[in-house]
Chain A
Amino acid sequence: MIYRAHAFELPADLQPRMQRAKRLEWITVAYLISVVGLMYLVMGSSQAMKTAWLEDILGLFPAISFLVAARHYDRPPSASFPYGYHRVYSIAFLTGAVALFAMGAFLLIDAGISLMRAERPTIGSTVVFGQQVWSGWLMILTLLYSALPSVVLGRAKLPLARELHNKILFTDADTQKADYRTAFAAIAGIVGVGMGYWWADSAAAVLISFSVLKDGYGNLKEAVQDLMDRYPQKVEEDRRDPLIGEVHALVASWPWVEESRVRFREDGQVYFGEILVVPRRNDKLLQDIAAGRASVRKLHWKLHDVTIMPVPNLEDVPEESVTP
């Protein structure tokens, strides 16, 4: 017989937040597609525009992977997947991080080459409502369109990501919130070209690709560490989740427990873990363990699955080197 984890359901108060997050991500996808289309139309031969354009295409990645993962993460565990599907988030996150990192590296090299070869961007003119205008102005307007709604969307998604303990949503919101920097760098590049400084364009492109690379590296590190089952981290705050310490305190407070060790890992939005206990008494051990599991799970919705293992002593367990 296979031991399957519990079916997972977000607590009732978080379910509407999840719905809102999904709705915002759908809006993000629609908006980014419109941005990518518009930018393609006005891009011309500007390196900065090309870089900002590719960055926006990459911006679709976390939003789409969130939406895909959100359809699967809460499927009930099956015989083939006894731990459930929580890790789809980690996988989606890793894939996005790899794409971002690789593209950042490519863009940086591409922009570096165009800077070194002193490639002068040729920006012509377009007719708008019967009036000839320099295409740079249209690029700038498009870049503004790519920046301002992004910030609003990013800021709306950020608190949801924190409540849902969802890293991919957090990364998406956080990058989007900072997206205006890319657009402003590109605008500076275009204005620079207009003022006759050919290098402004490539320099802006280098700057943007550097920020893409930096984001990619950060996400890659985060994604790999999560998949390596490190100590659960708070979303955003870059520190250990104090919840694990609370679990340890709770276990230590049980009268039947002499000594204990706690270990948890992140599986997407939730935690799985083991607790080793040295019992003081043996008479009601099974009942104590059952009650203990129930009360740990009641502590927080993130503590999804816990195993309590009674041991005679902790001699073969290495000394705890970290305090939560």
Chain B
Amino acid sequence: MDPVMYRPRGGELSCTFRLPAGPSTLVLHAKIPRSFTRLSANDLLMRFCFVLPLLVLLLIFGCDIPRDPAGSFARAQREALRVGITDNPPFVIISDDDLHGTEITIVEEFAGANGMDIRYVMGSESSLVRQLERRELDVVIGGLEKTSVWTREVGASVPYDGRHVFLIPRGENKLLYHLESTLRKPRS
């Protein structure tokens, strides 16, 4: 994007930008008010301050944000996703030789989509949440509701059905982003 011309016109500065937009070119005309040309250096600096964060935004938009704060997403991909489960039909059903339920299906879909193996850890809700706080687990499931007390102690996903959430360690924003993208997929 480069300014093509920059010429004064009737007391105004006019600035034209040509943006390559597909096969054709998009031409932008920007009229700069006369008052702008009379600004002191300090004023210009102030105005630049407003543009600066926008530029920074544009620069980082392309980057990988939210990033993995402690490399835990990468670790889950390298080793395994540690999932805490607590028996709560029909979300998580733990029987002697089998593990199934609606949330088990979702968590397996998530792991599959992100190339992760799963290691399940069984326990009571409170002990699993403690392990989550110590970052010994990555996700805790078992029909937990968004209004439960745990959501104040650890991080929670969006409710995938308007009511039930997955718990994650606080601040695991990359994990959360990808988890929510799985949770939002329409399913019957």
Contacts and interface: CB of A to CB of B under 8 A. Distances in A.
Nearest to B46: A151
Nearest to A127: B184
Given A119-B170, A125-B158, A196 B68 contact: yes
Given A127-B184, A194-B60, 8 more contacts: A121-B171, A122-B176, A132-B180, A144-B53, A180-B50, A193-B173, A195-B65, A197-B69
A134 B181 contact: no
A184 B155 contact: no
A261 interface: no
B172 interface: yes
Contacts of A195: 60, 65, 67
Contact of A122 (B50, B170, B184): B170
Interface of B: 49-50, 53-54, 56-57, 60-61, 65-70, 155-158, 168-173, 176-177, 180-181, 184
A184 B171 contact: no
Contacts of B170: 119-122
B171 A194 contact: no
**B-side binding surface: helix, strand, loop or mixed?**
mixed
B171 A134 contact: no
Contacts of B158: 124-125
Contacts of A180: 49-50
Given A132-B184, A191-B60, A125 B69 contact: no
A45 B154 CA distance: 11
Nearest to B168: A122
A196 B69 contact: yes
21 contacts: A120-B69, A120-B172, A122-B168, A122-B172, A122-B173, A122-B176, A123-B66, A123-B173, A124-B158, A124-B180, A125-B176, A134-B66, A134-B177, A180-B50, A187-B53, A194-B67, A195-B67, A196-B66, A196-B67, A197-B69, A198-B171
Interface residues of A, number: 28
Contact of B53 (A151, A184, A197): A184
A134 B65 contact: yes
B57 A193 contact: no
Contacts of B69: 120, 196-198
A27 interface: no
A148 B68 CA distance: 31
Given A148-B50, A191-B60, A196-B68, A124 B184 contact: no
Nearest to A184: B53
A217 B85 CA distance: 52
Contacts of A121: 170-171
A187 B177 CA distance: 19
Contact of A136 (B65, B70, B172, B181): B65
A107 interface: no
Contacts of A122: 155-156, 168, 170-173, 176
A103 interface: no
A193 B60 CA distance: 13
List the 7 closest A-B pairs by CB distance, nearest first.
A120-B171, A122-B155, A196-B69, A194-B65, A196-B67, A120-B170, A194-B66
A310 B68 CA distance: 81
A194 B172 CA distance: 10
Interface string A24-59: 000000000000000000000100000000000000
B58 to A, nearest CB: 12
A281 B168 CA distance: 91
B50 A193 contact: no
Contacts of A153: none
